[in-house]
Amino acid sequence: MKQLLRPVMFVGTCSDAGKSVMAAAFCRIFRQDGYHPAPFKAQNMSLNSYPTPGGGEMGRAQVVQAEAAGVEPHTDMNPVLLKPVNNTSSQVVLHGKPVGNMSARDYFGKENAGEELFREVTGAFERLRRRYNPIVMEGAGSISEINLRHRDIANMQMALAAGAAVYLVADIDRGGVFGSVYGTLALLPPRERALIKGIIINKFRGDISLFEEGKKLLEELAGIPVAGIIPYFSDIKIEEEDSVALEMKTNTWKAGRINVAIVLLKRMSNFTDFDALDTDARFNPYYTHRTDDAGKADVIILPGSKNTLSDLQTLRASGMAGAIVKAYREGKKVIGICGGYQMMGLSIADPHGIEGDIPSLPGLGLLPVNTVIEPEKVTRQSRFTFLPGENKASCKGYEIHQGRTSLRHGAKEQPVILLDDGRTEGYCLGSNCWGSYMHGLLDNRAVLDHLAKGFTPSAEDAPPDYAAFKEEQYNKLAAHVRRHINMEQIYRQLLV
């Protein structure tokens, strides 16, 4: 039996410093070294989520880390998930179940709310600690937001409760790494600073040996060792947590590929639905909110949204809605997933005001379906046959939605999906136009092949098995981090 290790926590000098990826790397490293790790993030704010086998909802980043650890995802790994609905409020998901929409003032301002939530997240952590060794923890944003410290349940308060060895991740690619590290540490009270066991410089470009003097200066300045300097990489594909990554995938139309325009919605959810397209050389996916970019594409995909009515209203105002309909009439493929499927229908109504103050809107009118947003949320994993009249391959995906979509009176049922329990789902107007609630569709070879139908990509461009591809990427990530980090020093700190 492996020796018990104390929890390890990766915190940041800022958002997007690389905490999520670092946690995923260590989940895989510990697994490779014979341990039984599991991830944990007390509170996550993200529109990228996933249903557990038990039907609970959790942040996608912790699902990625669980995959890297080789364990089944559980809501204890992310007990609080905040899903922004608009600029001022979020849906609060506690232990996998939505408990309502709250503004930041409501969420943080309620008397004793922080204490109650902290009891919930520490309870989840303790349940994990009894089952796994070690717990690989991730902080949220920056740990130096002193105005938030008294109500921050995701960072150093959680590290103290867990007795974690904490590593501070700094993004050198942003510039100002000395100031960000020193300033972050200077703003910590002594008992929190004492938990910081090392600094990890992330996203380094160029010759690392040229930073040797900088490393020594930083260690002298901070009084804490630099545990590693991780080179920037672009050849390892790990699912991103934040939609900021989509800014790097815009306006990249390419000749000789099936160009797929993914409509960039303000409240886009589960953009990881499209990661598989990046691994399939037949396709060139790019994100856009420009009508001319959409018009150049062979395929247009309307993705999911956490505020479907608001995003639909924006599409109409920007002219994108008209461009999508025009593209369909010109023979382009138009696909909708979840909220995008709802938008492609005849109407969307929100009688309970779940998404906001827009009671109803007409849809794009491409599919003969109507949607009503209802209070009960569907979160489930599914196995199914895609386009059952054409395919027999078994596929898998998941649903996360509060809409109920029904056929217009008199319309013939033409499902996209036949689920293993006999239910049908989605609507297929034809090979060039269909919509479904199913997330993860494009992770299935049968769906990618259907999307490529009618085009003539090279036979050698056939896609890899996506599950095997992801496993390969986790191993590549672990190897990359091992090469550039002092694992001996880290193991010394983790021995209980």
What residue segments make up the domains of the chain, in order of their start? 8-237+472-494, 257-456
Distance CA 8, CA 11 (A): 10
Grouping H, G, I as helix, E, B as strand and the rest as coil, residue 384 is: strand
Q: 242, 12 in Cβ contact below 8 A?
A: no
pLDDT in tens, 64-89: 999 999 999 999 999 999 998 887 78
Q: Which of 27, 74, 95, 338 is catalytic?
A: 338
Beta bridge partners of 485: 228
Tell me the whole-structure pTM to 2 decimals.
0.86
| Residue 396: band (very low, low, confident or very high) from pLDDT cuts 50, 70, 90 | very high
pLDDT in tens, 239-295: 876 555 555 555 577 888 999 999 999 989 998 999 999 889 899 999 998 998 888
pLDDT at 415 over 70: yes
Question: Does domain 257-456 correspond to CATH entry 3.40.50.880?
Answer: yes
Shared fold status for 8-237+472-494 and 257-456: yes
The pLDDT of 129-155, averaged and rounded, is 91
| Fold classification of 8-237+472-494 (topology level) | Rossmann fold (3.40.50)
Secondary structure percentages of the chain, helix, strand, coil, to 5: 35, 30, 35
pLDDT at 461 over 70: no
The pLDDT of 447-465, averaged and rounded, is 77
Say which residue the tokens 């959810």 belong to: 269
pLDDT in the model for residue 204: 94
Q: 110, 125 in Cβ contact below 8 A?
A: no
pLDDT at 111 over 70: no
pLDDT in the model for residue 150: 79
pLDDT in the model for residue 242: 59
pLDDT in the model for residue 26: 98
Q: What is the CA radius of gyration of the chain?
A: 23
| Two structure tokens written together for 193 | 């600073």
Q: Which of 74, 95, 401, 439 is catalytic?
A: 439
pLDDT in the model for residue 101: 82
Between 146 and 439, the higher pLDDT residue: 439
Active site residue 338: yes
The pLDDT of 317-342, averaged and rounded, is 96
Active site residue 450: no
Closest-CA residue to 270 (of 442, 386, 468, 122):
442
Distance CA 111, CA 106 (A): 10
Q: 327, 379 in Cβ contact below 8 A?
A: no
